[in-house]
Amino acid sequence: MANWSDPQLGATPQGGAVGTATGVSVDAGLRAHMLSVYNYMTSGILLTAIVSLAFAWGGRDSLAADIFINGGILRWVVMLAPLGIVLWMSFGSHRMSQATAQILFWVFAALMGASLSYIFLVYTQGSIALTFFATAAAFASLSLYGYTTKRDLSGMGTFLLMGLVGLLVAMVVNLFWLNDTFSLVIAAAGVLIFAGLTAYDTQKIKSLYFQLPGAELGKAAIFGALELYLDFINMFLFLLRFLGSRE
């Protein structure tokens, strides 16, 4: 994501974040930074869940049903609005203030809640909850691995990003082909790709901490949270194809 997405993993600590500080103070600063990232991400997911439940409240008589069953063009506006926010944040990251990035992050999370409310019209609430907690457990394990591993994951990241491009192409093809078996293959690939990206992005966010001056870390935490949020949500949606029970 612009400047935030291309750190050299394993780079030598430098800049205002480290300076002549002791190893203990560096570790404390890194923990505080990562905690900020995870707090933003968790709060964003919570906001998404609240908005999604509010839109889906009432089942077939809900606002979600009005949008996704009877909404016409409104359905596409709601579904594409989060993408517009992500593109705005990605291409405007250099010029964007921390306050603007923070506002856009919350707007994005709320819009994602509206766009994801359709899953309550398709899957049972029990299977959605099961998939959510399974995703949370997998995400926690993968992110912990990315944070603690000494292995440089940059090579894997390049491979995963190439796989992500292929995944997007396959999804577009299947919009016209509408093959159920191919759809399951796409879902399996999606789970694996975003599982890998969770570990890769966590290590990248950790590495970036050592490369930015202290004044930039607040905004970096927001963009890092956005990346992990997207990893979590996409892994959840692809996993829902396997664990979700349809209404």
Helices (H), ranges, 151-216: 154-177, 180-209
- pLDDT interval class at 20 (50, 70, 90): very low
Residue 87 tokens read as 């593109």
DSSP reduced 3-state for 205: helix
Question: Does the pLDDT at position 12 exceed 70?
Answer: no
Which pLDDT tens digit goes with each residue over 91-119?
Answer: 998 999 999 999 999 999 999 999 999 99
Domain ranges of the chain: 21-243
- pLDDT interval class at 60 (50, 70, 90): confident
Question: Does the pLDDT at position 15 exceed 70?
Answer: no
Which pLDDT tens digit goes with each residue over 119-150?
Answer: 999 999 999 999 999 999 999 999 999 999 99
DSSP state of 212: S
The answer to whether residues 7 and 208 touch, using CB atoms and an 8 Å cutoff, is: yes
Residue-wise over 77-93: b if at least 16 C-beta within 10 A, else e?
ebbebbeebbeebeeeb
CA distances 235 to 32, 197, 209, Å, are 26, 10, 25
Which pLDDT tens digit goes with each residue over 156-179?
Answer: 988 999 999 999 999 999 989 989
Which pLDDT tens digit goes with each residue over 191-224?
Answer: 999 999 999 999 999 999 999 888 899 999 999 9
Residue 15 CA, distance from chain mean position: 28
